[in-house]
Copies of this chain bind each other. A is one copy, B any other.
Amino acid sequence: MNIEEFFELSAGKWFSHRTSHHLADKQFEHGKSDIIIETLATDHPEVIKLCQLYEIAPDSASCGARVTWNSTEPEKSNGSTVLVSVPDADNPAEGKLLRQMNHTEKAPVARRYKIDSDDALTLTTEYETMWSEERLWFASPNLRMRASVLKHSDGFSIASFTSEIRMGGSPPAAKASETANSALS
C-alpha cells in the first residue's frame, strides 16, 4: 500500500468511536463522531493553498483529502480540515503530511507519515512542547483502527484508541444503510 491508496481506502463515511486513557490519573473519556473523508485532486484549490501555506511546491503533493466530522458524544460539535501528503523524493513510503491549521496553532505544524510493511500508516507530529504518534490500519476495508500516544516533556500523558466502521461510500448516501449492514463482514 502507498499513501495514495491509503487515502483512497479511507474515503467514505465512517462511524468513529474514540476512547482516551489518561495515563497519570487512570481515568478515561470517550467520544463518538460521524466522519466523512473525501479525496481531493492535487490541483484542487484547497490543496494548492495548503502547499503554499507550508511553502511547498504544489506539484510535489501526491494526494489530498478533506475530513469532515460531526461529533455526537460527549457533546455535539463539528468541523473539517484538509490533509495533503508530500512524499519524500528519495522514498515515497515516507513524507510530510500537511494539515490546515486549527485555531490553537500559531504556525504550521510539522507532521510526518510513514507506510510500513504491514500497510499501516504512522503519523508523527512535533509540537513545541509535545509529541504525538498515531498508527492507523485497516482490519478490513470496512474497519479502520487508530492507536495514538501523546507525550509531553514530562512523559506520556494520553493513549487513545479509535475504531471506525464504514457506514457507506461518499456520496451515494442512499446506500448507506445497506452498506452498514455488511460493513463488519
- Show the binding face of A for B, using Cβ within 8 Å: 15, 17, 19, 21, 23-24, 26, 28, 30, 32, 116-118, 133, 139-140, 143, 145, 147, 149, 154-157, 159, 161, 163, 165, 182-185
Contact = CB atoms under 8 A, between A and B. Distances in A.
A116 B118 CA distance: 9
Contacts of A26: 15, 17, 32
Report the 6 A-B pairs with minimum CB-CB distance, sorted nearest first: A161-B161, A155-B184, A159-B163, A19-B19, A155-B185, A21-B163
Q: Count this chain's copies in the assembly.
A: 2
A117 B32 CA distance: 33
A15 B22 CA distance: 12
B165 A23 contact: yes
A147 B157 CA distance: 18
Contacts of A185: 154-155
A32 B25 CA distance: 12
A67 to B, nearest CB: 20
A32 B26 CA distance: 9
Given A19-B161, A116-B117, A143 B139 contact: no
Contacts of A15: 26
A17 B24 contact: no
A143 B156 contact: yes
A117 B119 CA distance: 12
6 contacts: A15-B26, A17-B21, A19-B19, A23-B184, A143-B149, A145-B147
B23 A21 contact: no
**Which of A156, A163, A183, A184 has the most C-beta atoms of chain B within 10 angstroms of its own C-beta?**
A163
Given A17-B28, A165-B23, A157 B139 contact: no
